[in-house]
Chain A
Amino acid sequence: MAAQSLSAQDLSVFVSHRDGGIASMELAVDGIRCAGCMQAIEKGLGREPAILGARVNLALKRVSVEWREALLRPEAVVEKLAALGFKAYPFVPERQEDGAAAEEKRLLRGVGVAGFAAMNIMLLSVSVWSGNSGDIDPATRDFFHWLSALIALPTAAYAGRPFFESALRALKAGAVNMDVPITIGVVLALAMSVAETWNHGHHAYFDGVVMLLFFLLIGRYLDQLMRRRTRDLAGNLAALKAETATRLGADGSWISVPIAAIAAGDQVLVRPGERVSVDGLVLTGRSELDQSLVTGETSPAAVGVGERVHAGTLNLTGALTVRVEAAGQGTLLDEIDRLMSQAVGSRSRYVRLSDRAARLYAPVVHTLSAATFLGWLLIGGADWPVALMIAVTVLIITCPCALGLAIPAVQVVAASALFRRRIMLKEGDALERLAEADIAVFDKTGTLTLPEPDILNPDALPSERRAEIGALAAASHHPLAQALSRALGSPSARTDVHEERGQGLSTTQHGEETRLGSVGFCGAEAEAVPVLAAHPGASLIAYRRGAYRTVLALGQKLRPEAQETLRALRAAGLEIAILSGDRPEAVAPIADELGVSFVRAGLLPGDKLELLDGMAAKGRKVLMVGDGLNDAPALAGAHVSISPVSATHLAQAAADIVFLGDGLKPVADALAIARKARRLMLENLWFAVLYNAVAVPIAMAGLATPLVAAAAMSGSSLVVTINALRARNSAAGPEASA
C-alpha cells in the first residue's frame, strides 16, 4: 500500500548533499534476503549512469546510494529499486546511532590493542614459565619482565579506560558495579607485578592482566554490538512503516510526503477513509472520526473547524485540512499519554541477570581477598608484600571474564538466531524477560487476526463478478469498500459511479442498474439473514445487479499459524488470555475457534493495563502481544511485549520485540529461543561459580602461579563461549525460508 504512494512523494528531506553536486541517501530495503538480492540491487542501480555508487549492507538490510544531484531526483532511486523488485524506504540516520557507533569503534580498537599485547606478552611469559622450571638466567627473566611491563602498562592505560571510567562513575554516584573490582584488580596486579620485577621476583602478572582486559573487552563489545544492532533495526522498522501525509506545498499544490518531512505549522489534507497521521487543529472541513483504535469508543465523533484531531484516528465522511501541531511522535490523546507514563514504571524495575550476578560477585570477591591478606599476615605469618601478592592473585583468578562473557555471548548468538526467523529484538534484556513469561495475553484485532478485513464467505462471490465488484468498491473512500477492493486485489476504480454518502455506490451497466453498499441500499435483507447467522460480528456489504443479489461478509481472518502457535505456547506451560477492545460478540467466535476460555472484551486501554497490573500483582509474568494504539499502554506495562510489524507506530515503539510477516508463529519461536538462551546464560553463570569454587581455594592457599591464572582464565572463557554457540541450533523449528 505504501509503494504506490511513494512514487508521488517528495523525498528531498532524506537526501544529504556533498561537495561536487553529489547527493546520497540511506534506504531501508524490504526483501533483501540473500547474496543474489544484494547483487541485483548493486548491479541494477549501477547500470544507471547518474548513480555513482550503491552499496548494500546485508546485515542491516540497508542500501546507501550516491548520485549526481543534477541528473536524478531521489524519487527516481526509489522507483529504480521498485523496478528491480524491492520496496525501499528512505530514512534519516539518527544522531544517537553515531554516538553508539563511536563507542563500538572504541571498544573494537581496545580489543585489537589488548589482543596484540596479550599475544606478545604471552610469548615472553611462556619463556619465563618454562625457564622458571629450568635454569633461566635471572637477568634474562628480569629483562623479559621489564619488556612485558613496557607492553602491558600502556595497553592497560589505553584498553582499560572503559572499565576505569565506568568504575569512577559508579563510585562517584556512591554505587559499586562490576567494573570496580575489575579496576581494583587490574591496578593492584600491575603495581604488584612492577614491584616484583623491581625486586627480581619469579612471578609477574602482566600477561594475566592484559588477557583479562582482552576477554572482558570482547564481552563488552558483543554487548554494545547487540545494543546498536537492535537500535538500527528499530530504525529500519520505523522507516518501513512509511507513513505518509498530504501536505500543502508553497505553490498551493498538494503533495504526498513522508511523515518525517512534516513539521509543526504545515497544512495537511486528510481525505475521507484515510487515517489521520498527525496531531493538529482542523482549519477547514467537517467530518466524523472513528476513534476506536485510540479510545475503544466505537461510535464516530463529529469534528469541525477549530477542533483537535489526533494521529491514529480514522477520517470517515468528509475531507479535512489540518494545521499540524506535532508530527512523527505525536502528542497523543491525553488518555493514552497518561496511561503510558503510568505503565513504564514496572519494566524499569527489572534487574538484568548480569547485574544480579555482579551485585553478588563484588562483595564476595573483595571479602575473600581481604580475608586472604589478613589470614596470611596474621595466621600464616607471612610478610605483608607476600600476603598482598597472594591476595591480588585471588582478585585476578576470580576473574570475572567468564562472567563478563557468559551473558553477552549468548545474547548475540540468540539474537541472530531470532533475526534469521524475522524476529527483531528492540531491548537487550527482552530475551531474559520473555523466558520468564507464564501467561500470554493477546489482543484480538490485528494480532490474532490479520489487520486487513477479508471476505469470510468467498462462495457468495461468483468468480465472474469479482472484477466488477472490485472496480466498484475501489471507487469509494468508505473503509469497508476499500477493504473489499484490497481483498479483491486492488483493481483500478470505475469512474462513472454515483456515491450516496453512508449508503453505497450505484452505476449503470448495459442498461442495468448496479449497486454496492449497505444491505438496505441494495434491498438484500433476505439474503443477509443466513450470512449474518453464519458470521456473527462480521460487517456486511451487499451487491445488486438487476434481479441478482448477494451479500458478502467482511471480517477478520485468523493469522496463519495462530492455532499451532497457541498450542506451542500452551505446551510451554503458558496460560492464554484474550483482552480485546472489540464487542463481546465479535471476540467470542475467535476465542471459541482458538479454544481460549480466559476472554475479556469491550475493554478500554486503561482496563487492559489494569488487568495486566492485577496479574502482575499476583506474581504473574505477562507476555503481551498487541498491535493497536489502544494496546500501547499494555505493551509498555507488561513484563515483556511483542508486536507484529503491521502494528501502529506507538505500539511498536512500546514493544520489546517486533516480528515480520503475517504468521503468528514467531511468537512461539521467540519464546523457545528465549528460554533456551536463558538456560544457557544460567549454565554459564553456574559454570563460572564452579570454576571459582575450584580456583579460589588454590589461589588462597598461595599455590596459584601466573601460569595457573592464565590457563584458568582462557579455559573458562572458551568453555563459556562454546556453550553460548549452542543457542544457534535452537529448538524453535526451521528458520524462515530464504
Chain B
Amino acid sequence: MNIIVILFPLALGLGLIGLGAFFWCMRSGQFADLEGSAWRILQDDDEA
C-alpha cells in the first residue's frame, strides 16, 4: 500500500513533465510547419 505514495506522485510527475515538454514545443513553434520538419531531418548540414 505504501508503494502508492511513491508511485502516484511519480506517475503524475512524469505526466507533468510530458505536458511541460508539449507546451515548450508549442511555444517554440515546432507545430507551425508539420511537413517541413519531416524533411529537415534528412538534410545534410555538414557543409554549412
List residues of A whose CB falls within 8 A of some B CB. Answer: 34-35, 38-39, 43, 46, 56-60, 105, 108-109, 112-113, 116, 119-120, 123, 140, 147, 151
Contacts and interface: CB of A to CB of B under 8 A. Distances in A.
Nearest to A35: B39
A116 B42 CA distance: 31
5 contacts: A35-B40, A35-B42, A58-B33, A59-B34, A120-B11
Interface string B15-48: 1101100110010000111111001101100001
B36 A57 contact: yes
A56 B40 CA distance: 10
Given A58-B36, A116-B16, A39 B26 contact: no
Contacts of B31: 108
B3 interface: no
Contact of A116 (B19, B34, B35, B43): B19
B36 A38 contact: yes
A446 to B, nearest CB: 32
A147 B8 contact: yes
Nearest to A111: B22
Nearest to B1: A140
B23 A35 contact: no
B12 interface: yes
A210 to B, nearest CB: 13
A112 B43 contact: no
A60 B48 CA distance: 25
A123 B34 contact: no
Given A35-B42, A57-B32, 11 more contacts: A35-B36, A38-B36, A56-B33, A58-B39, A59-B34, A109-B23, A113-B19, A116-B19, A120-B15, A140-B1, A147-B8
A59 B48 CA distance: 24
Nearest to A39: B43
B15 A58 contact: no
A515 B34 CA distance: 58
Interface residues of B, number: 22
A43 B48 contact: yes
Contacts of A38: 36, 39-40
Nearest to B19: A116
Contacts of B48: 43, 46
Contacts of B32: 57, 59
Contacts of B8: 147
B26 A105 contact: yes
A58 B35 contact: yes
B21 to A, nearest CB: 10
A39 B11 CA distance: 41
Contacts of B1: 140
A137 B45 CA distance: 59
Given A58-B36, A59-B35, A109 B26 contact: yes
A57 B18 CA distance: 26
Contacts of B23: 109, 112
Contact of B11 (A46, A59, A60, A123): A123
Contacts of A116: 15-16, 18-19
Contacts of B36: 35, 38, 56-59
B33 A120 contact: no
Contacts of A112: 19, 22-23, 26
Contacts of A35: 36, 39-40, 42-43
B3 to A, nearest CB: 12
A151 B11 CA distance: 13
Nearest to A124: B8
A57 B43 contact: no
B36 to A, nearest CB: 3
Contacts of A113: 19
Contacts of A119: 15
Contacts of B39: 34-35, 38, 58
A34 B40 CA distance: 11
A123 B8 CA distance: 9
Contacts of B15: 116, 119-120
Contacts of B18: 116
Contact of B12 (A56, A60, A120): A120
Given A35-B43, A38-B40, A147-B8, A108 B26 contact: yes
A510 B43 CA distance: 58
A39 B12 CA distance: 41
A60 B19 contact: no
A35 B18 CA distance: 30
B9 to A, nearest CB: 10
Contacts of B40: 35, 38
Contacts of B34: 59
Contacts of A123: 11
B41 to A, nearest CB: 10
A108 B26 CA distance: 8
B19 to A, nearest CB: 4
Pick the 7 closest A-B CB pairs, nearest first.
A35-B39, A58-B36, A57-B33, A58-B35, A116-B19, A112-B22, A59-B35
A60 B33 contact: yes
Nearest to A58: B36
A46 B48 CA distance: 9
A35 B33 CA distance: 12
A39 B43 CA distance: 7
B18 to A, nearest CB: 7
A509 to B, nearest CB: 52
A738 to B, nearest CB: 12
Contacts of A58: 33, 35-36, 39
Contacts of B43: 35, 39
A112 B36 CA distance: 22
A58 B33 CA distance: 6
A157 B39 CA distance: 39
A38 B37 CA distance: 11
A147 B23 CA distance: 24
Nearest to B39: A35
A56 B34 CA distance: 12
A60 B35 CA distance: 9
A34 B12 CA distance: 41
Contacts of B42: 35
Nearest to A47: B48
A46 B1 CA distance: 60
Contacts of A60: 33
B23 to A, nearest CB: 7
Nearest to A150: B12
A151 B8 CA distance: 12
Identify the interface centre among B18, B31, B36, B43: most chain A CB within 10 Å of its CB.
Answer: B36
Most chain A CB within 10 A, of B32, B34, B35, B40, is at B35
B45 to A, nearest CB: 9
Contacts of B11: 120, 123
Nearest to A37: B39
